């Protein structure tokens, strides 16, 4: 029974790795969606400004996204 559990865990691990790798390049629809998301986020910030930690976190997220394009 232990071998079956180990096999299931390995299968889950490999499946997770395949799902998270996905496509290396973003397509035009994904880039457009991200642009819309940023615009909506900026509009929300105009009404309810984020704190300094939240702004720093967003800047880090955007920098990482720009590097992975």
pLDDT at 17: 63
Residue labelled with tokens 């790795």:
17
What does the pLDDT look like over 3-55, one tens digit per residue? 567 777 677 777 666 555 556 677 889 889 988 998 998 888 888 888 899 88
pLDDT at 24: 64
Is the alpha carbon torsion for 57, 59, 63, 66 positive or negative? positive
**Dihedral angle at the C-alpha atoms of 29, 35, 36, 42, nearest 10 degrees?**
170
């Amino acid at each position: 029974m232990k071998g079956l559990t180990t096999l299931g865990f390995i299968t889950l691990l490999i499946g997770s790795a395949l799902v998270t790798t996905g496509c290396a390049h973003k397509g035009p629809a994904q880039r457009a969606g991200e642009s819309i998301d940023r615009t909506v986020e900026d509009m929300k910030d105009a009404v309810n400004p984020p704190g300094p930690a939240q702004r720093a976190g967003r800047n880090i997220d955007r920098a990482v996204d720009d590097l992975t394009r």
